[in-house]
């Protein structure tokens, strides 16, 4: 295999190091398959959705209306783009709407803007990707035909994701009794982003993304057929296998806070594959940055507050702490 498309740190025997050994290898034992609850978007049942949000925080969406041809073209374009030499991907101008990154899926993409990395690959996630702002995607164009074609596909896909997110959130907001002003500030389509990930193959045992919760209101994921996504349910990790023509929806930290802990911000992670690369396309949407989230279990805060605190924790502690920072009874 030609590894010239991989960031140098992830190429075999980089600096004489082998990737074949990894601690905690038991983590990679085969996990049971998750029987995710299924929600039919065309017949959205609010009571069923409420139960799933409270018990799982993750669901499999069917009849979502995203054309199969669009999904196929997106994955084909992503694979072609990621297979380009690493240096050419680094040359993508790091301006809106598309930013190339690698080794770090954190919300704050600016840390990757110049592709800097700590010296050890042990602190990296085995992925590369593109972070795409949907708010700016129609205003920028690329001379490169592949990038421009991909941008157009992402713009179309973003419209579908916004449609799904607004409908699903609308049903959740009705279940939770949000007022109209609160519903408007709690979900801001203008904040929507798409992240296109390639999880790199590795002969050792590595994480594409380790155990985490999303900071979003909700996230919508389309997987290819390789697999690797896992969800934590009742203190057990379960494989979330790919099923053709379905999307995975999971709730994030903002939705848990808005619901006053009635809904679950679900923990999940991604394993890399020894033999095959994996491509997934994630849509993430957030509240208005200045909209105040009010709930009895939390001090009032805005998404801007939450994001700033996360950025500080990432710099100081190397990890997101998240909602516990704002919880009343155990504020840190």
Report pLDDT digits (tens) over 219-259: 999 999 998 999 999 999 999 999 999 999 999 999 999 99
Q: pLDDT band at 91, cuts 50/70/90?
A: confident
Q: Is the peptide bond before 259 cis (omega within 30 degrees of 0)?
A: no
The whole-angstrom separation of Cα 151 and Cα 130 is 11
Report pLDDT digits (tens) over 280-329: 999 999 999 999 999 999 999 999 999 999 989 988 988 889 999 999 97
Mean pLDDT, rounded, for 162-172 = 98
Report pLDDT digits (tens) over 5-49: 999 988 876 544 444 434 344 455 568 888 999 999 999 999 999
Domain assignments of the chain as residue spans, ordered by start: 31-295
Residues 6+ apart with CB under 8 A from 308: none
User: Of 24, 22, 18, 30, nearest to 205 (Cα)?
Assistant: 22
Report pLDDT digits (tens) over 261-274: 999 999 999 998 88
| Cα dihedral 250, 108, 285, 308 sign | positive
Q: Which CATH number fits domain 31-295: 1.10.1660.10, 3.10.180.10, 1.10.580.10, 2.60.120.330?
A: 2.60.120.330
For position 82, what pLDDT does the model report? 96
Mean pLDDT, rounded, for 94-106 = 78
For position 273, what pLDDT does the model report? 86
Mean pLDDT, rounded, for 89-106 = 79
DSSP 201: P
Strand partners, 59: 249
The whole-angstrom separation of Cα 285 and Cα 278 is 23
The whole-angstrom separation of Cα 34 and Cα 36 is 5
Whether pLDDT at 117 is above 90: no
Q: pLDDT band at 90, cuts 50/70/90?
A: confident
95-129 burial, b at 16+ Cβ within 10 Å, e below that, comes to: eebbbbbbbbbbbebebbeebebeeebeebbbbbb
For position 140, what pLDDT does the model report? 85
The whole-angstrom separation of Cα 294 and Cα 281 is 31
Report pLDDT digits (tens) over 179-213: 999 999 999 999 999 999 999 988 777 788 999 99
Mean pLDDT, rounded, for 58-85 = 97
The whole-angstrom separation of Cα 262 and Cα 259 is 5
Whether pLDDT at 95 is above 90: no
Most confident of 98-107, 109-118, 150-159, 317-326: 150-159
Helix (H, G, I), strand (E, B) or coil at 166: helix
- Greater pLDDT, 181 or 95: 181
- Strands 229-233 and 298-302 come out as unpaired
144-167 burial, b at 16+ Cβ within 10 Å, e below that, comes to: eeebeebbbbbebbbebbbebbee
For position 11, what pLDDT does the model report? 84
Mean pLDDT, rounded, for 85-95 = 82
């Amino acid at each position: 295999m030609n590894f010239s498309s991989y960031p140098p740190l992830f190429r075999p025997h980089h600096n004489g190091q082998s990737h074949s050994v990894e601690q905690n290898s038991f983590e990679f034992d085969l996990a049971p398959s998750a029987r995710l609850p299924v929600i039919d978007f065309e017949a959205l049942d609010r009571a069923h959705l409420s139960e799933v949000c409270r018990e799982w925080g993750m669901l499999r969406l069917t009849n979502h209306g995203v054309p199969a041809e669009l999904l196929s073209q997106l994955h084909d374009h992503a694979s072609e783009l990621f297979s380009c030499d690493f240096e050419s991907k680094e040359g993508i101008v790091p301006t809106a709407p598309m930013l190339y990154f690698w080794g770090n899926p954190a919300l704050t993409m600016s840390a990757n803007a110049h592709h800097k990395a700590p010296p050890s690959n042990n602190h990296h996630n085995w992925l590369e990707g593109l972070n795409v702002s949907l708010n700016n995607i129609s205003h920028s164009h690329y001379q490169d035909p592949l990038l421009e074609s991909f941008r157009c596909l992402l713009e179309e896909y973003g419209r579908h994701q916004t449609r799904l997110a607004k409908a699903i959130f609308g049903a959740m907001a009705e279940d939770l009794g949000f007022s109209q002003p609160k519903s408007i500030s709690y979900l801001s389509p203008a904040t929507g982003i798409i992240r296109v990930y390639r999880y790199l193959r590795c002969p050792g045992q590595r994480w594409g993304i380790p155990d985490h919760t999303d900071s979003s209101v909700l996230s919508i994921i389309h997987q290819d057929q390789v697999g690797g996504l896992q969800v934590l349910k009742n203190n057990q990790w379960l494989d979330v296998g790919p099923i053709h023509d379905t999307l995975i929806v999971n709730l994030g930290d903002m939705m848990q806070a808005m619901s006053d802990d009635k809904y679950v911000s679900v923990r999940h992670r991604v394993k890399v594959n020894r033999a095959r690369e994996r491509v997934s396309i994630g849509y993430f949407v957030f509240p208005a940055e200045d909209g105040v989230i009010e709930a009895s279990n939390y001090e009032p805060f805005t998404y801007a507050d939450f994001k700033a605190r996360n950025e500080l924790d990432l710099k100081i502690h190397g990890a997101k702490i998240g909602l516990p920072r704002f919880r009343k009874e155990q504020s840190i």
